[in-house]
Structure 1
Amino acid sequence: MQPDASALRHGGALDAAIARHGGRRADWLDLSTGINPVPSELPEFPPEAFSRLPEASLERAALDAARRAYGAPADAGIVAAPGSQALISLLPFLLPPAEDAIVEPTYAEHRRAFAAAGHAVAGIERPDAIADTVKVAVVVNPNNPDGRVFSRADLFDLHERMAARGGLLVVDEAFMDVTPDMSLASEAGRGGLLIHRSFGKFFGLAGLRLGFALTTPDLAGRLSERLGPWAVSGPALVCAEALLGNVETIQITRQRIRRQAEMLFDAVLDRRAPLVGRTALFATIRCERAGALSNALCRRRILTRPFAERSDWLRIGNPAGPDEAARLRAALGEALDEIGDGG
């Protein structure tokens, strides 16, 4: 039995898993996404956050908090959107169709978006393999799903090459919050550079739908204009100001995610299914029958993330605590026994 098509495109398709494998939502452990499983405490919302259109002052406060939290210069351009996915989908339509390159395998929506906007997209394995004719280069750092990390020095070199020919380097830092020293956000505002940041993954509030782009003021303005007025809800802006503006909350969240990551690593460490790579929010393992392993885990009411393009990879998100980690460890051992040696 092959994994459900919805599971092969994105994580989080719990309804489809329940329809196929049964059980109630309460029975399932959803480890299919790279999202912090312990959401941050929500701030108090003033009633007008829901009853009024968002005021410009509220958006400015949220953007200022994001700029400071990410370490971006005060004069860098920044735009908020209903999820970083919205920015990923929109950006290619603001750029002239050209020859582009994406370091792959990676988050597939970058390729889909550029192709939909008429760009010629090439997949490459390393940033230094980008041809001189490329006008837009996309690097996800840390990379999803293999956990590769690209150094600031290498990305600076690539940016200089791209900027020298009037090109654009796009760096998707959706999984960067736990390792801020690796971020390029401090260089935001330079010509030829755009950085995506995700709010929901780190704070465990993906349903809020909030993301940011850090770039030049001109490109940020063009993105904002295309998004239109009131693109981000009042409650999302309140959360951004409150959580991104709270240094203690950010530090506590980083520590919590690091503990989760270590529990996950201990749970998935198995010679029959070796590690492909990891970030602070997920680990990807290799198994020749990854689809069968995913289904075997589903029968134990644990949802993971298989891949259509890499049938030997399975990505597993962080457990919330020791009990979930122990459940995953036991289920993974049983599932590998069920399908064979997993190698």
Structure 2
Amino acid sequence: MLEHGGRLLGAARTYGIAPEAWLDLSTGISPFAWPAPVVPASVWQRLPEDDDGLIDIACAYYGAPHLLPVAGSQAAIQMLPNLRPASRVGVIAPGYNEHAHAWRRAGHVVESLSASSLLADPSRYDVIVLVHPNNPGGERFERDALLACHAALAARGGWLVVDEAFMDATPQDSLCSEAHREGLIVLRSCGKFFGLAGARAGFVAADPALLEALRERLGPWTLSGPTRHVLKLALADRAWQATARTWLQGMSDRLAAVLLRHGMAATAGCAFFQWWQHAHAEAVHVALAKQGILTRLFDTPASLRFGLPTEEAALRRLDEALGALDLKEMLR
């Protein structure tokens, strides 16, 4: 099992600080969560039904012609490598490390490289996996460059897999509308933007034949009835979505400003997080944890990802905690 953010209980035990006393900035999940309602008892009492209207609502939200609901994009990440024969796979690095892990575990030959290297020579690969915007590196890609890469791969029966888990704040940059093209696979997560990580829900946009093959592998009832009920409401709530996009970008900008004020100019970021790369990132991670603030530590490259605080008071707490550190000495 690979390391991920959100391991609050482990941090509480390590540092002897009660879980409720922490400021958890270790994930990229939006703290501005969609207000999920009480689920009717009847939804709990019936098996999920595929023709409940969820797909139509999701296709309208994502602008995709075809979608398959999955138990979080992680379910698709783990299963997609099993749908291909042995392949040469290029995966963006640094990036969400479950991608490379899943392809290697399925027996494929995997190279982890920068996005620029992957896009410069797609002929070296049968599959290229990108994250857009990237996590944690923050890279963004021109639509024409992505479609050119896809065309080069698809001409040889290859795939371009684009993980758009953090795309909801900038939906105009999504490739979902192009996912009818054979060999283009787009992954979407409902946990990040809607703050519904516990629902374990996402979608795959691709051509119908590939979605059917994936559905056969995953089996029935990939999403629970309560999750489907909540998603239908959240994906249709356009007013909340517009408010959330404004809130996310504003809080992300304010977070970047706090880091900059303490000499920690963000290396990259997006509406959901800021990423700071430095050789002494671990020392800052530990020093903040001793004050009850949890960040996401990366070893390669040494760096910290700061998720968004829930409110201005939490942002001030981070500001004060950084101010209490002797950062000039720590970062020498």
- The answer to whether TM tops 0.5 is yes
What one-letter code is carried by the residue in structure 1 that aligns with 2:214?
L
1:325 aligns with 2:319: no
Q: Give the match's secondary structure for 1:132.
A: helix
Q: Which residue does 1:20 correspond to in 2?
A: 14
Q: Is the 8 A contact 2:262 2:323 kept in 1?
A: no
What one-letter code is carried by the residue in structure 1 that aligns with 2:22?
W
1:272 aligns with 2:266: no
Q: Which residue does 1:157 correspond to in 2?
A: 148
Q: Which residue does 2:109 correspond to in 1?
A: 120
Structure 1 residue 44 displacement after superposition:
4.1
Q: Is the 8 A contact 1:274 1:287 kept in 2?
A: no
Q: Deviations over 1:140-176 (max 9, x none)?
A: 0000101111111110111111111110000000000
Q: Deviations over 1:50-78 (max 9, x none)?
A: 121112222xx1122111101113xx3x1
Aligned pair in 2 of structure 1 residues 271, 338: CA closer, same or farther (>3 Å)? closer
Q: Is the 8 A contact 2:122 2:149 kept in 1?
A: no
Q: Which residue does 2:58 correspond to in 1?
A: 66
Alignment of 1:296-307 (within 5 A): 296-307=287-298
CA distance in 2, matches of 1:38, 1:136: 35
Q: Which residue does 1:37 correspond to in 2?
A: 31
What one-letter code is carried by the residue in structure 1 that aligns with 2:75?
A
1:50 aligns with 2:44: yes
1:100 aligns with 2:94: no
Q: Give the match's secondary structure for 1:111.
A: helix
Q: Which residue does 2:135 correspond to in 1?
A: 144
Q: Which residue does 1:231 correspond to in 2?
A: 222
CA distance in 1, matches of 2:209, 2:296: 38
Structure 1 residue 43 displacement after superposition:
3.2
CA distance in 2, matches of 1:231, 1:83: 9
CA RMSD of aligned residues (A): 1.6
Q: Give the match's secondary structure for 1:56.
A: coil
Alignment of 1:189-208 (within 5 A): 189-208=180-199
Q: Deviations over 1:201-249 (max 9, x none)?
A: 0011101100110001011111111111111101110111111012112
1:263 aligns with 2:257: no
Q: Is the 8 A contact 1:275 1:283 kept in 2?
A: yes
CA distance in 2, matches of 1:102, 1:198: 19
Q: Give the match's secondary structure for 2:51.
A: helix
Among residues 236, 248, 273, which one is paired with 1:245 in the alignment? 236
Q: Give the match's secondary structure for 2:161.
A: strand
Unaligned runs of 5+ in 2: none
Q: Give the match's secondary structure for 1:53.
A: coil
What one-letter code is carried by the residue in structure 2 that aligns with 1:37?
P
The TM-score, its normalising length taken from structure 1, stands at: 0.92
Among residues 279, 285, 290, which one is paired with 1:288 in the alignment? 279
Structure 1 residue 260 displacement after superposition:
1.8
Structure 1 residue 82 displacement after superposition:
1.1
Q: Which residue does 1:84 correspond to in 2?
A: 73
More divergent stretch after superposition (253-262 vs 199-208): 253-262
Unaligned runs of 5+ in 1: 1-5
More divergent stretch after superposition (258-267 vs 241-250): 258-267
Aligned pair in 2 of structure 1 residues 272, 341: CA closer, same or farther (>3 Å)? farther
Structure 1 residue 342 displacement after superposition:
2.0
What one-letter code is carried by the residue in structure 1 that aligns with 2:35?
E
Q: Give the match's secondary structure for 2:324.
A: helix
What one-letter code is carried by the residue in structure 2 that aligns with 1:136?
V
Q: Is the 8 A contact 1:80 1:210 kept in 2?
A: yes
What one-letter code is carried by the residue in structure 2 that aligns with 1:85?
Q
The TM-score, its normalising length taken from structure 2, stands at: 0.95
What one-letter code is carried by the residue in structure 2 that aligns with 1:342?
L
CA distance in 2, matches of 1:153, 1:338: 42
More divergent stretch after superposition (40-49 vs 148-157): 40-49
Aligned pair in 2 of structure 1 residues 128, 57: CA closer, same or farther (>3 Å)? closer
Q: Give the match's secondary structure for 1:178.
A: coil
1:219 aligns with 2:219: no
CA distance in 2, matches of 1:338, 1:198: 36
1:135 aligns with 2:126: yes
Q: Is the 8 A contact 1:37 1:318 kept in 2?
A: yes
